[in-house]
Structure 1
Amino acid sequence: MPFDLGATVRLTADCLDPDGAPTTATSATVTVALPDGSTVTPAAAETGTPGRYQADYVTTVPGRHTVRWVWSGPAHAYTDMFDVREATPPAIMSLATARRHLKKTDTADDEEIRDWIEACTRAVEQFVGPVAVRTITETAHFSTARSVALTRVPALSLVSVATLRPGGPSYTVDDLLLDPDTGLVSAVTGGILYGPLRFTYRAGRVIVSANIRAAAKIILQHLWRTRQGPGRPQRGVDDYDVTEPLPGLGFAIPNRAVQLLDPDSLGPEVG
């Protein structure tokens, strides 16, 4: 499961001799490759179990990390990975809400539920655009235009705009008008915009309607059923029926959830 940004990851691995038996090595080194291309080498030490080594690493950047263990005396190596969430990952519901909907009375499955919440959020947002409010930066590639369409809507507000044309005109957010529903940006004066421009803006929904919240719960319940394993129902019944795959989502979205999301759907182009 992904780790939270700033959390300590306990890295463990076994040093094996050529026969595959755990053994104490002369030296052990662990290197963590970060998503930004940098590397760190936390101190590695053998545990109370012969041949088993561990190192603690405090996460500093979100994304996928690669872990490389190398031992000498005997020579052995092992590669692994782990993921780190962004500081505020988009979430369509709280852990408490998800736990209550899945009828969980303890915290044993919390980390797995959090993972499914993120997957559920992504699925819902493919239909209705951003739900969880976040800041987005994107570049609009154009020469001249009366208006420019931001790709993620609802777009709540512009944070900043930067021109990428050498010697081109500069703009401030006060120079521009934003239509939250369409994401169209135009000049206050009604004049021509000169691109390309890099926009930073806030997108999402300040109020999440009941139909979106209900659809998210149905999707979460449907996805949670995949844990049941072979030989048990996978598609469910009634509200959890899936009669046909959806582009990019396959059988992940039950019919009832699609119907609930339909009033707010932005069309198949939403990603």
Structure 2
Amino acid sequence: MPYDLGATARLTAVCRDPGGALVTASTAVVTVTLPDGTTATPAAAETPTVGTYEADYVTEQAGRHTVRWLFTGPAHAYTDALDVREEAPPTVLALADAKNLLKKRTADDDGAIRFWNEAATRAVEHFVGPVVVRTVTEDQRVGVVATVALRKAPALELVSVTALRTGGVTYDVGDLTLDGSLGIVSRTSGGSLYGPLRFVYRAGRIIIPGNITAAAQLILQHLWRTQAGPGRPQRGVDDYDVSEPIPGLGYAIPNRAVQLMNADDDGPGIA
């Protein structure tokens, strides 16, 4: 499961000789490649179990990391990966609410619940646009246009609009108008926008409507049931029915959640 940004990831590996037996290596080096391409080499040490090594790495960046172990005497190698969450991972439901929904009272399943809660949020936002407020950086390769449609709507506010090429026009956001529900940007004066441009803006919903929260709850329960229980989702049984697969999402979205998201007035909904 992903680590929280700033948490310590305990990295582990084993060293084996050509015959497959666990052995103590002459040297053990672990290299962590961060998402931005930089590297870190936390100190590696053998544990009390012969041939088993560990290293503690304090996470610094969100995203996918590559972990590479190299041993000598004997020569052995092992490659792994770890994921680090954003500082404020976007989830519609708080962990406590998700646990209560799934009737979990201990921390034993917290990692799995957080994972499926994030997956449920992504599914919801696939249909209704951003729900959890976040800052978006978006490049628009436009020429001379009257309006620009931001890709993430609803949008709350423009932070900056800058030129992507030398000599291009940078705009004061005070001179621009934002139709937040549609994500449409235009000049207050009615003139044209000259691209290409980089837009930085805040997107999401300050208040999450009840139908979106309810849809997230249904999707989370559905995903939890299908990963914990046998078989494909049944049809014609309950709120978790799936009449037909949704392109790109298969059987991940139950019918009742689709109906709830179609009732949303602030987002694009589902065609």
**Shorter-chain TM-score tier:** over 0.9
The secondary structure found in structure 2 opposite 1:238 is coil
Contact 2:261 2:270 (8 Å CA) reproduced: no
Cα deviation, residue 26, structure 1: 1.0
Residue in structure 2 matched with residue 197 of structure 1 by the alignment: 197
Whether the 8 Å CA contact 1:99–1:105 is kept in 2: the answer is: yes
Alignment-derived partner of residue 216 in structure 1:
216
Structure-1 separation of matches of 2:189 and 2:67:
54
Q: Secondary structure at the match of 1:239?
A: coil
Q: 1-side partners of 2:187 and 2:55: how far apart?
A: 55
Once the 2 structures are TM-superposed, how far is the Cα of residue 165 of structure 1 from its aligned partner? 4.2
- 2:121 equivalent in structure 1: 121
Is the 2:258–2:270 Cα contact (8 Å) retained in structure 1? no
Alpha-carbon separation, structure 1, partners of 2:97 and 2:62: 25
User: Within 5 A, what are the aligned runs for 1:38-77?
Assistant: 38-77=38-77
Write the mapping of 1:29-108 to structure 2, written as runs, cut at 5 A: 29-108=29-108
Q: Which has the larger displacement, 248-257 or 136-145?
A: 136-145
Residue 12 of structure 1 pairs with residue 12 of structure 2 = yes
What secondary structure does 1:70 align onto? strand
SS at match of 1:25: coil
- Contact 2:263–2:269, Cα closer than 8 Å, also in 1: no
Cα distance between partner residues in 1 of 2:81 and 2:94 = 27
Deviations 1:74-111 (A, max 9, x none): 11111111101111111111000000000001110001
The gaps in structure 1 that reach 5 residues or longer are none
TM-score (norm 1): 0.95
Deviation at 1:136, TM superposition (A): 0.3
**Mapped contact 1:225–1:234 kept (Cα < 8 A):** no
Give distance in 2, aligned partners of 1:103 and 1:97.
Answer: 10
Q: What are structure 2's unaligned runs of at least 5 residues?
A: none
* Counterpart secondary structure, 2:239: helix
1:266 alignment partner in structure 2: 268
Kindly report which structure 2 residues correspond to 1:169-180, keeping only aligned pairs within 5 A, or say none. 169-180=169-180
Q: CA deviation at 1:205?
A: 0.6
Q: Which amino acid aligns with 1:235?
A: P
CA distance in 1, matches of 2:60, 2:160: 26
* Partner Cα distance (2:22, 2:136) in 1: 48
Deviations 1:174-212 (A, max 9, x none): 010000111111111111111111110000011111111
Q: Matched residue of 1:105: which SS?
A: coil
Name the counterpart of 1:235: 233
Root-mean-square deviation (Å): 1.4
- The equivalent of 1:153 in structure 2 is 153
Structure 2 residue identity aligned to 1:158: L
Asked if the contact 2:129/2:153 (under 8 Å) is kept, the reply is yes
The CA distance in 2 between the partners of 1:131 and 1:149, in whole Å, is 18
The runs of 4+ residues in structure 1 deviating greater than 2 Å are 164-170, 226-229
Residue pair 1:142, 1:196 contacting (<8 A) in 2 also: yes
Under a length normalisation based on structure 2, what TM-score does the superposition of the two structures give? 0.95
After superposition, give the CA deviation of every residue in 1:196-240 in whole Å (9 maximum; x if it has no partner). Answer: 1111000001111111111100000000013325xx254153100
Shift in Å, 1:38: 1.2
The whole-number CA distance in structure 1 between the counterparts of 2:144 and 2:183 is 17
Kept after mapping to 2: 8 A contact 1:11/1:57: yes
For the 8 Å contact 1:63–1:84, the answer to whether it is kept is yes
Q: Deviations over 1:121-164 (max 9, x none)?
A: 10000110000000001112211111111111000000011022
Q: Deviations over 1:21-59 (max 9, x none)?
A: 111111111111111111111111101111111111011
Given the superposition, is the C-alpha separation of residues 79 and 168 from structure 1 closer, same or farther in structure 2, using an over 3 Å criterion?
closer
Deviations 1:233-265 (A, max 9, x none): 541531001110112111100001000100225
